[in-house]
Amino acid sequence: MSHNATADRSIFSGKPLRILIGLILVVNGMFPALWILFTSLKTEAELTVKPITWLPHAPTIANYLRAFTDQPLLLFLFNSFMVAILSTALTLLISLLAAYALARLQIRGRDLILSAIIAVSTFPLVTLLVPLFEIMRALGLLNTWVALILPYTVLSLPVCTLILVSFFEGIPRDLENSAMIDGCTRIGALFKVVVPLSAPGVFTAGILAFVNAWDEFLLALSFNSNPMLRTLPVGITLYQGEFAFPWPVISAALVVGIVPLAILIVIFQERVVSGLTSGGIKG
Amino acid sequence: MATASETTLVTMHNESGTKWWTRFLDPSERTLAVLLLMPAALLLTLIIVYPVGRLIWTSFQNLSLTSGVPATFAGFENYSLMLDDPVFWETTWNTVLITLITVPGALLVGLALALMANLPFNVKWPVRLSLLIPWALPLSFAGLIFAWFFHSEYGVVNDVLRRIGIEGVIWFNSANWAFAAICLTIIWKTSSFMALIILAGLQTIPRSLYEAADVDGAGRLRQFFEITLPLLKPAIVVALIFRTITALQTFDIPFTMTRGGPGTSTATLAMYIHQNTVDFLDLGYGSALAMVMFVLSMGVTAVYLRMIRTKG
């Protein structure tokens, strides 16, 4: 049925009411980030005025300058970025191979393997804090990117594998077969035919893996105590003094951390939604 | 005919590969499956399987990195210590309470958001983005942002309360208000994910069902309870289980909002595990605590796997 028909049968059929509901949704989703943006533009003096002001009266970028000088914010960004990119690449590579095997090859115990993957996707990594801490210490990996890249890869591996399996299953086998007749090996066919055709799925999986890695806090806090190796979420907590919370500076740092995510989400919004709702589940 | 010629071509191709490396590049299907699954298996062994064994072992050890004494077998000492530890009970209770409050809370708010987002808006992207942004926001960012929201002097929550004539509270000075602030933050942060999953479920319900119900004279409420909710059940169950397991691991939001304070009144089990492991370097005790969370989560996962199996 057309949109108008559904609108008519809705209990919220009035247009003003619909706009109001849209507004509620937007305020619920955007207000916290918007409020932090406003705070980041206020002067220290304006912040301690009562009653509080909502929009900044004399917007300033001083807090952003302090955010970059009080702590090595650029370095936090760099660490977060590298850890997220490298773990995403590793996740995609490993899950591509596994998903191809599960989607295309005759495997005994395929259902068992898929169940195991689902079980891993709900596995609480927090409980492995002690053994992972010991392993990373024994391997000399504490205070390195690798200490985070390996667990982050595991964090996204199940979701990405499930997304890719369902994508591969949608690609006709004939295309691969003809590539193999033309002299491709199976692995050649995977990277030359299947991967390009499932690019949307690979992309969706990649975005989810990136967001998972960008957001992680506990392992980054526990494994990398050297301030130079902090990721952004952990680094931002360093702005808090023992008693002082420099809120405008923290807000500025938060805005710096939100912007890359927001860009990613705005550009790829439809892809992210399809990834989340097809195979991808995250808390 | 086409299939026949394909088979011959493939066979010819295989036969032409006489050098050993061709066999390596084009292995049999079974070898290939093993090779392709190997990286995933190796990584999962290093990061999950071996650590789980190690966790169980360590929980029966006296292993503190601060003492410098080598690990000794402790039997159930860590566990009996735990049962007598009031902070263990408090943090476990807080974790269970957070789960019991925020999981249904996020479900209800998420359901409401999804029903609202499912209206026929002319422009769709603002609604989609306002569900995606809270999902993508790191939990620790949400914790910091809402800590500022609930600031007693300059926070926007108390400001709004004052405008409508209610005297605000000093949120983080009282155990109960701090706990409430944390739960509200978690519900805000996690409900948008619930909404996205439920929204996808809503969009698969055929319109014709509602039209038929209209013809039969069923009211809106009856349609909601007899068509919408039953058909949404699979989506809701999956979202609920994942949310439950992440709720049991709650760390980032209380850590960034209150650091568990006042006292240990808003500390969670994950925070207590982290404190014993990273701050006190008491790996034996930290492992015993982690075993409790492990068992809780495995229980939920077992229920989940059983539900998927019965579903088909």
Helix crossing, A269-278 with A199-215: angle to 10°?
A: 90
Helix crossing, A247-267 with A199-215: angle to 10°?
A: 170
Is residue B1 in some structural domain?
Answer: no
Same-domain pairing of A106 and A186:
yes
pLDDT score at B210: 87
Residue to test with chain B: of A25, A95, A125, most B Cβ within 10 A? A25
- Return the exposure string of A126-142: e unless at least 16 CB atoms fall within 10 Å of the residue's CB, then b: bbbbbbbbbbbeeeebb
**pTM score of the predicted model:** 0.88
What average pLDDT does range B30-53 have in this prediction? 90
- Closest residue in chain A to residue B150, using alpha carbons only: A32
pLDDT digits 0-9 by tens, A218-277: 999 999 888 889 999 999 988 877 667 788 899 999 999 999 999 988 998 888 887 777
Please indicate whether residue B216 or residue B267 has the higher confidence score (pLDDT): B267
Q: Kindly state the tokens that stand for B151.
A: 């600031």
Whether the CB-CB separation of A246 and B144 falls below 8 Å is answered with no
Same-domain pairing of A97 and A220:
yes
Beta bridge partners, B61, equal B73
Same-domain pairing of A114 and A219:
yes
Beta bridge partners, B62, equal B72
Type and span of the H or E element at B2: helix B2-16
Q: Which residues of A fall within a CB distance of 8 Å from B37? A: 97-98, 101-102, 107, 113
> For position B133, which CATH number holds?
1.10.3720.10
Is residue B28 in some structural domain?
Answer: no
Q: Side chain identity at B61, as an amino acid letter?
A: Q
Q: How many folded domains does chain B comprise? A: 1
Residue B205 neighbours by CB under 8 Å, 6+ apart: B227, B228, B231, B232
pLDDT at B17 over 50: no
Whether the CB-CB separation of A152 and A83 falls below 8 Å is answered with yes
Is residue A195 in some structural domain?
Answer: yes
Type and span of the H or E element at B92: helix B86-117
Name residues 75-134 of chain A within 8 A of B (Cβ).
93-95, 97-98, 100-102, 105-107, 113, 115, 118-120, 122-134
CA distances from residue A214 to A88, A281, B3 in whole angstroms, order as listed: 10, 16, 48
Same-domain pairing of A119 and A21:
no
pLDDT score at B5: 42
pLDDT score at A12: 52
Q: Kindly state the tokens that stand for B173.
A: 């000075």
Same-domain pairing of A92 and A55:
no
Q: Which residues of A fall within a CB distance of 8 Å from B304? A: 118, 122
Q: Which of B134, B86, B92 is nearest to B109 (CA)?
A: B134
Same-domain pairing of A33 and A173:
no
pLDDT score at B57: 92
Same-domain pairing of A167 and A229:
yes
Is residue A3 in some structural domain?
Answer: no
Those residues of chain A that have pLDDT short of 70 are 1-13, 242-243, 278-283
Q: Which residues of B fall within a CB distance of 8 Å from A101? A: 32-33, 36-37
Q: Which residues of B fall within a CB distance of 8 Å from A105? A: 29, 32-33, 36
Lowest average pLDDT, out of B77-91, B103-117, B290-304, goes to B290-304
CA B42 to chain centre: 24
Query: Given an 8 Å threshold on Cβ–Cβ distance, is B55 in contact with A247?
Result: no
Whether the CB-CB separation of A272 and A204 falls below 8 Å is answered with yes
Name residues 12-71 of chain A within 8 A of B (Cβ).
12, 18, 21-22, 24-26, 28-30, 32-33, 35-36, 39, 47-48, 50-52, 54
Q: How far apart are CA B44 and CA B166, in angstroms?
A: 53
- Domain range enclosing A120: 71-278
Same-domain pairing of A142 and A45:
no
pLDDT at B2 over 80: no
pLDDT score at B134: 93
What average pLDDT does range B29-52 have in this prediction? 90
pLDDT score at A139: 93
Q: How many folded domains does chain A comprise? A: 2
pLDDT digits 0-9 by tens, B153-205: 888 898 889 889 888 889 999 999 999 999 999 999 999 989 998 988 888 88
Residue A4 neighbours by CB under 8 Å, 6+ apart: B120
pLDDT score at A225: 85
- Residue B61 DSSP SS3: strand
Q: Does A210 touch chain B (CB under 8 A)?
A: no
Query: Given an 8 Å threshold on Cβ–Cβ distance, is A119 in contact with B305?
Result: yes
- Cα-Cα end-to-end distance for chain B: 37
Is residue A4 in some structural domain?
Answer: no
Is residue B201 in some structural domain?
Answer: yes
Q: How far apart are CA B250 and CA A84, in angstroms?
A: 22
Q: Kindly state the tokens that stand for B241.
A: 């289980």
Is residue B56 in some structural domain?
Answer: no
Please report where in the chains the tokens 């899950």 appear, as a residue: A95
Q: What is the torsion angle, in degrees rounded to the nearest 10, for the CA atoms of residue B230, residue B236, residue B241 and residue B244?
A: -120
* Minimal Cβ distance to A126: which of B243, B273, B287: B273
Q: Kindly state the tokens that stand for A31.
A: 């207000």
Same-domain pairing of A116 and A46:
no
Please indicate whether residue B37 or residue A3 has the higher confidence score (pLDDT): B37
- Return the top range by mean pLDDT from B19-23, B114-118, B208-212, B301-305: B114-118
> For position A257, which CATH number holds?
1.10.3720.10
Is residue A116 in some structural domain?
Answer: yes
Residue to test with chain B: of A37, A93, A129, A240, most B Cβ within 10 A? A129
Confidence of residue B299 (pLDDT cuts 50, 70, 90): confident
- Domain range enclosing B274: 81-311
DSSP A99-152: HHHHHHS--TTHHHHHHHHHHHHT--GGGGHHHHHHHHHHTT-TTSSHHHHHHH
Is residue B102 in some structural domain?
Answer: yes
